[in-house]
Structure 1
Amino acid sequence: MRKSLKKIAKVIAAVLGTVVIILCAYLGWLTVCDYQPLYKENLMIAHDAGKEKVDLAKTHSITTYNIGFGAYSQDFDFFMDGGTESKAKDRETVMKNIKGSVNELNKIDPDFAFVQEIDIDSSRSRKTDQRVLVAHGLDDEYTNCFAFNYKVPYIIYPFNDMHGKVSAGQGTYSKYKFETAERISLPTDQSWLARLFGLDRCMIVNRVKTTNNKELVLINLHMSAYDKGGEFRQKQLNMLEEILEDEYKKGNYVIAGGDWNHVIPTTDINKFAKTEERPDWYDYIPENFSPKGYRFEVDENVPTNRTAGIPYDKDVNFTAIIDGFIVSDNINVVAKNGSDLQFKYSDHNPTTIEFKLN
């Protein structure tokens, strides 16, 4: 009996030892491969547009749209939001959603576009190259740049359907020539495991010449979502506020926008409330974020985001406006247009403003 127990104990010890060795090797591999971008990096500019300067006499438009890496059909839920799925249903679904999102952008036909959650060869989006799909699907008059904000060689959870390799980022598109294109890192949790598995949040900053020899500064944002206590979201807002105020002092025109992962403060958080309770992370941008000379602009009548813990049901899911823009007061917004797509292609809807430079 004792010999049998010893054998069983040895087997258990061998199995546990093997698991520990594999886990240590896995974490070591992730550590070696950890994506560590610099605070500021120049980005490659693709397909220079023909238009050189933004004309103050004309009305222009800008759209922001988080395309959800092509996975978020209306029937999709996501494990990080309390759902069960970690990958898109199949490659056909991803292609349909990306093409649908791009077609909607082409219908809107903005002069500038901020696009978030663009995957490149990621397991969760069935190895599609969405950077190419978006750039080639849009009208070819757009110049563009792309910045990574999420690169992990392989994520082993959830264990029943591993998230796998992730390589993703955000892109900015313009009918006008970019003078510069920069990736600026946002503050994120730098603890060891958070660095290995978390997003490396960033903003893309582009500069476009204007006909009065100033600059239109475009800032494409994708702020933190899963941040208990809001520590890093606050740090990101503090950094953004400094950048906005610095550009304002220079006399530039500035539009910052994208997926704030906060409710836009000029909107009513309960306006679109359904039967689902509001998740804790749906909260307003803090009142202490108030850069001088700026105001928020967004269509307040069309929600831009749905909860993703359950598939979309228009009578159930909580929805709110977490995508939008903050603009300097030398910009006159003449129209605000949300696109109510009923979250057909993503867990976000695109939203657009039309503006003139003063």
Structure 2
Amino acid sequence: MNKFRTIYIVLLSLLLVACDPFATEIGTEVSLYESIEKQEFAFPDTLKVMTWNIKFGGGRIDFFFDGHGNRVIMEKSEVIDNMALLSEKIREVNPDILFIQEADVNAKRSAFVDQVQYLLDNTNFNYAAYASQWKARYIPSDGIGKMDSGNAILSKWKFTDAKRIALPLIQSQNFIVRYFYLKRNILEINLESNQKSIKLLTTHLSAYANDDTKKKQLEILKTYVDSLNQKGQEFILGGDFNSLPPFSNQTSNFDDSVCTDEDFQADNYSSETEWLMPFYENYKAAIPLQEFKADNSKHFTHTTDKNGYWNRKVDYLFTNNHFVKNSGNTLQQWMQVSDHAPVIVNFKTKQ
């Protein structure tokens, strides 16, 4: 019996005799944060909104899951250096609202640095909400160990009604992989000012779904924002959808993960490019579809190859109100900071 089969049997035995031995289950809980020193901000007529997958403060280190390197764990000095650079770029943009994905708050791979608190204390934000997406007391694979990583929303103003909405798990993965793997979610908060309510939502959808899980997640997300819209509730939705928009020039064979494990093969997007069309048809996009169609490369937001260039768009901002015309932008100049480029846009709070 080889080593990996032995480990598999041991893990399976533990899972069968205990309800949740590695504490991977995630409920509806949301963690609320405040900066150490708060600043006062008047609520503006126009909000600057930004979404950014920050790659758990990993910068452009070649991690094993990208297929370009073999790193698993970072030194604390590396994490702090990368978070300092992230904070510097965020301060440069100075958004009022920031959606972030892949934020670690208590993980061995990022030296247990609470990245949400770090960003609050080193930018102009006062408050944040965080929802776990990948959580375990210990992950017995590749030296990952303890994990708590997820999505967050940072705001200059206090908010209410923070909640986590669970999304479906990838059903094509085997039982043990699914037990330890990411539990995707929608994080929502309610921002109120000047007798006006704006729902802010962020998400990070599945990247390695070889079944219809990602489609189901997108359908649930669309149904949820539709319900807000039908109630006359304004919303801003941002995040990493791990999906290509319609009119993408390339839909497969990206120079990405070279994993051979069937549970973690890189996405082939060729059948998925119409899945986002309902969002474009019903709501306003920070980067309108016609702009993306005119010049795909100008709006690419992701690549895993630090020696290459951004090669596809997977990060989005949508609203049922109004983005300021021509204010949407993809900031592609900071490739050294993350494997995703941030997207920004201005949102009108008054008509």
Band the TM-score falls in, shorter-chain normalisation: 0.7 to 0.9
After superposition, residues 259-278 of structure 1 pair within 5 angstroms as 259-265=240-246, 268-270=248-250, 276=255
> What is the TM-score of this pair, normalised by structure 2?
0.80
2:54, 2:100 within 8 Å by CA — same for their partners in 1? yes
Alpha-carbon distance in structure 1 between the residues aligned to 2:5 and 2:51: 49
Amino acid at match of 1:236: Q
Q: Deviations over 1:40-76 (max 9, x none)?
A: 4455353587568x55xx2221001111012232xx3
Change (3 A) 1:30 1:194: farther
Alpha-carbon distance in structure 2 between the residues aligned to 1:351 and 1:87: 28
**Aligned residue for 1:180?**
161
Alpha-carbon distance in structure 2 between the residues aligned to 1:255 and 1:16: 45
Q: CA deviation at 1:343?
A: 1.7
Query: Which runs of 5 or more residues in structure 2 are unaligned?
Result: 258-265, 293-297
Secondary structure in 2 aligned to 1:85?
Answer: coil
Amino acid at match of 1:351: V
2:29, 2:131 within 8 Å by CA — same for their partners in 1? no
Q: CA deviation at 1:217?
A: 1.1
Change (3 A) 1:288 1:91: closer
Work out whether 1:153 is the aligned partner of 2:137: yes
**Aligned residue for 2:318?**
326
Q: Percent identity?
A: 24
Which of residues 302, 306, 323 in structure 2 aligns to 1:312?
306
Q: Deviations over 1:136-191 (max 9, x none)?
A: 1122x421111111112222333xxx222211112111122213211111111366
Alpha-carbon distance in structure 1 between the residues aligned to 2:345 and 2:300: 15
**Aligned residue for 1:352?**
344
Q: CA deviation at 1:78?
A: 3.1
Secondary structure in 1 aligned to 2:327?
Answer: strand
Q: Which structure has more RCO (C-alpha within 8 Å, separation ≥ 6)?
A: 1
Q: Deviations over 1:72-129 (max 9, x none)?
A: 32xx333333344242443222211111111111110001000111112312223322
Change (3 A) 1:31 1:60: same
2:286, 2:323 within 8 Å by CA — same for their partners in 1? no
**Aligned residue for 1:5?**
none
Amino acid at match of 1:218: L
Secondary structure in 2 aligned to 1:183?
Answer: strand
- Number of corresponding residues: 327
**Aligned residue for 2:184?**
201
Q: CA deviation at 1:302?
A: 4.0
Larger radius of gyration, structure 1 or 2? 1
**Aligned residue for 1:222?**
204
2:25, 2:135 within 8 Å by CA — same for their partners in 1? no
Query: Which runs of 5 or more residues in structure 1 are unaligned?
Result: 1-11
1:59, 1:354 within 8 Å by CA — same for their partners in 2? yes
Secondary structure in 2 aligned to 1:305?
Answer: coil
Secondary structure in 2 aligned to 1:341?
Answer: coil
Secondary structure in 1 aligned to 2:21?
Answer: helix
Alpha-carbon distance in structure 1 between the residues aligned to 2:312 and 2:254: 14
Change (3 A) 1:146 1:87: same
After superposition, residues 51-200 of structure 1 pair within 5 angstroms as 55=44, 58-73=45-60, 76-139=61-124, 141-158=125-142, 162-189=143-170, 192-200=175-183
